Structure 1
Amino acid sequence: MSDAHSSTPAQALPRPLGNYARWRRHGDTIYVAGVSARMPDGGIDGVVRTAQGEVAYDVPAQTRRVLRNIEGILREAGASLADCLDLTCYLVDQKDFAAFNATWAEFFGEQEPPTRTTVVVRGLPHPDMAVEIKAIARVNGS
């Protein structure tokens, strides 16, 4: 049996921008939709705009926000980052891989890490997004 979970989102999490569930549970498995560095107010974390109109992306800040957003979603679902089994990560620029990987280790460095696939893509749904991650996790202790 599959349960969709689109209840009132936690205050610390942004609302989905489309008609999709933030997460779904099937048996003891939780599937988390692609998560970005979007903040509850709709802004994207890790975007630095200069007075000259230039834009820079802080990939560690975006990665931290994405993983914290996933952590909040998993909490809603009754799990935690430690319950992640597999994550698929999308980066817009392959030059960001080292910074992404170092930040990843802040979250998964001292435990048995999940499997991970990292894909470089041409773009993400918003031009200020440099990182997106989707996750598969288990229910606590399953």
Structure 2
Amino acid sequence: MAKRIINTPKAPAALGPYSQAIEVNGTLYISGQIPFVPETMTLVSDDVKAQTRQSLENLKAILDEAGYTFNDVVKASCFIKDMNDFAAVNEVYAEYLGEAKPARACVEVARLPKDVKVEIELIAVK
């Protein structure tokens, strides 16, 4: 089993001992992305839609680096701080993954890294 580590400066650096993504046997596993601006490693905004968009842009940068697109995504996991933001998160999410329609889970969590409102992870297959 060959394992390829994916890393790009176009997405935020890992905040701990993990990789942005790992590709194994044509499957790409992308670590959860929070809404940090890669260049500054700071939160994009307090607005949940802006946070969702930045998280998805970070995921797109990793997909691009690995040679994948959102159409290759088969599973998404969304973690949100407040389920009342579900519709707002979905609105932005649909702009990026609406056509791909991967399987998905969306759960409310007590707390996310750096107290952000949203974190999204993906699995993509070639």
Q: TM-score, normalised by structure 2?
A: 0.92
The equivalent of 1:25 in structure 2 is: 23
| Correspondence for 2:36 | 38
Output aligned runs, 1:1-142, within 5 Å.
1-5=1-5, 7=7, 9-10=8-9, 12-40=10-38, 41-47=40-46, 58-109=47-98, 111-127=99-115, 129-139=116-126
Q: Normalized per residue, which structure has more helix?
A: 2
Q: How much does 1:6 deviate?
A: 5.0
The count of aligned residue pairs is 125
* Amino acid aligned to 1:5: I
**Deviating 4+ runs (over 2 angstroms):** none
What is the alpha-carbon root mean square deviation over aligned residues? 1.3
Cα deviation, 1:56-92, whole Å, max 9, x if unaligned, reads xx11111111111101001111101111000010000
- Counterpart Cα distance in 2 of 1:14 and 1:78: 18
Tell me the TM-score normalised to structure 1 length.
0.82
SS state at 1:21 partner: coil
Identity over aligned pairs, percent = 35
**5+ residue gaps, structure 2:** none
The structure having more radius of gyration, on CA atoms, is: 1
1:87-142 CA-to-partner distances (Å, cap 9, x unmatched) read 01000001100101111111123x23111100100000112x10001110013xxx
Q: Which whole-Å CA distance do the structure 2 matches of 1:131 and 1:88 have between them?
A: 11
